[in-house]
Structure formats: structure tokens, C-alpha cells
Amino acid sequence: MSSSSDLKNFNTFKNRMKRIFKRLIGLIQKELAILFKDRIAMIIAFLLPTTIIILLATYGSVKLNQLTSLERGSPPYDPPIIGYFDADNTNLSREFITLMKDYEQNGFCKLVTPPNASSSQEAKNQLLELLGTNKINCILIIPPLFEYNLTTHFPALLDVVFDTINTMKLQVCEEIIDKMVNEFKEKYNFKGVFEPNYYREGVPEQGKLLFLASSLFFPMVLFSIGSLTASQLIVSDVPKDRMLLTPTNKYELLAAKLIALQIIMSLLIILTVSLSIGFGLRIKGNLIGYFGMLFVMALSGVVWGLFISSLATEPLNAFQYYIFMFLFQMVILR
């Protein structure tokens, strides 16, 4: 008697779960149809990242020193630490060190020099050790014959080695060093070849700008698009559109909205990563793991957007919450 009752309860539970699953699938399909019909949301979700990727890939080959003006501008919020060594020890090399120290005094960078280095190679080894332990962000070495090459119009190249793991500091270091070189050339009216010789181990030449920007660009864009779209889902919902799917409850509706939008975000991840790889982006690590990280970032944006939408009383109110959240996020990242 007990076994037949348990079997009956199990069948009842199984049938109930089937009905819930069927309703959930129907709700997801309806939410997907609503989202795909929202042209503005789809343009923001798919066209904006695609356009930015194409622009980064198309114009990313422009050298940074071609875009650098002679104006120093404002110092960075978190100045990079530059390790340096003067292997030439001449008047012009000391003048360049003086210029570097002026940048340090004005808050553009922090300078570190190896103590008691008897040779250029020993100094470079000490600086490489500091670079490997993340105590400095880049190395700048003024090579021998620096002054001779400048005064006789031979190419004068500064050896610069980056910490390529910290891509944000890499870009700041490159910009500051380019400004130093341009200012030094202008001050002494050098017309010959005088430029940094950058060593970027692990940074590809093709798709370099995408590589440097992707660590911040992809997560931020996915989080922002997910939260912006989700912030309108609950507050602008029209209950009568799904009366045929009743009976249902708010948890099923919420799950359907989350799953439907996450499906769209997954398509967006596939599109952006595939397009970036097509333009030369190299991913260090497992592609599935990278997709998983972006998936979680997009999911966090969707969840946060749904939370905003549940608090808002009208669509404009939800958008105001989103703007506040986005600005607060930018302040934290800054």
C-alpha cells in the first residue's frame, strides 16, 4: 500500500515538473521573441560591440607616437613604475635622465634604478628580476653610444621592456615614454631617428590594440549591455501577452527572462570573440575557459539589471538606476 502511494506521489511530482518545464520553455520562447523584436535593444547589443571591434582592429595599427602631442597633459591616476639604467653616461644621456626625473616630480611616473650595477647587462638582469616580481612596470635602458648616434644622425634606440601581464600599465608606460622622447627631440631639435625600441613579449603585433583592450573592454561591454537590457524587462512587462501560459508564478517568469536574455548574451559573446579572433586577437589560455569567464560576467550584468528593474516603477526610472550604477562602476574602475 505504501509503495503504490509512493509511486503515485512520484508520478504526480514528475507530471508537475513536466508541466512547469513546458511552461518555462514557452515563457522563454515568448521572451526571446519579445527581445528579438526590440530593434533598439538588438542594435545596442550587437551593432555597438561589433563597430568598436572593427574600429580597434582597423585603426589599431597606427603607432601611438604618431598620436602623441607635445603636451604632457594630466598625470595618470596610478603612475607606472619605470626601472632605468644609463649605459652611455654622457651629457645627452644625463639630460634625458633629468627629463625623466622631471616627469617623476610632476607625478607622471616613479623611477627605480638598480643599485651598484657594474655593467649594462648586470643592471638589466636586476631590472628584469624586479619586472618579474611586479615591482616595476617597465624597463628603460639608455644604450652605449647614445650621444654619439644622436649627434652623428645615426639611429638612437632606447631599449624598453614591458610587463605584458598588466596591459593597462603597459599602455600608460608606452604613452609616457613616447612623450619623453618627443619632448627631448623637440628640446634639442633632433631630426634623426630617435625612438624607443619596444620589447613586448607575449603581445602580438597583429591585433595588438584588441589584445590590450580586450581584458577590460569585453567584460565591461557585456556587463553593461546585459544590465541595460535587463533593467527594462520587468518594469515594462505586459502581463496580458502571456495569459495563455497561465497558471504560472513570478519565479517562473523571472527565470524565463533571465534564461532568455542570457541566451542572447551568449550569442553576443560568440560573435564578439569570433570577430576579434578573425581580426587577429590571440587568447592566452583555453578558449572555453575564456568563454566561461565572459558568460559569468554577462550573467552578473543580467542579474543586476533584473534587480534594478524590480525596484523601478517605470522604464525611465529603471534607466536612471542603470546610469547611476554605470557611473559608480566607472568610478570604482578608475
DSSP string computed for 67-82: H--S---SPPSSPPEE
Q: Which residues of 287-324 are buried (b: 16+ CB within 10 A; e: fewer)?
A: eeebeeebeebbbebbbbbbebbeebeeeeebbebbee
- pLDDT value at residue 100: 94
CA–CA distances in Å: residue 116 to residues 71, 85, 91: 35, 11, 21
- pLDDT value at residue 110: 93
Neighbours of 233 (CB within 10 A): 26
Instruction: Name the pairing type of β-strands 138-142 and 81-86.
Output: parallel
Taking the domains of the chain in order of start, what are their residue ranges?
Answer: 30-57+208-333, 64-199
- pLDDT value at residue 171: 78
| Alpha carbons 231 and 310: distance in angstroms, whole number | 8
Cis preceding linkage at 239, omega within 30: no
Residues 6+ apart with CB under 8 A from 17: none
User: How does pLDDT run along the chain (334 residues), one tens digit per residue?
Assistant: 456 666 677 777 777 778 878 888 888 888 888 888 888 878 878 888 888 777 777 665 444 444 444 567 788 888 999 999 998 989 999 999 999 999 999 999 999 998 777 777 888 888 888 887 888 989 999 989 888 888 888 888 898 888 766 767 887 888 899 999 999 988 888 877 888 887 765 555 555 666 666 777 788 888 888 898 888 888 777 554 444 445 557 788 888 889 999 999 999 999 888 887 777 676 766 788 888 888 999 999 999 999 988 888 888 888 888 888 878 877 765 5
- Give the CATH fold of the 64-199 domain: abc type-2 transporter like fold (3.40.1710)
Nearest to 170 by CA among 143, 141, 201, 127: 201
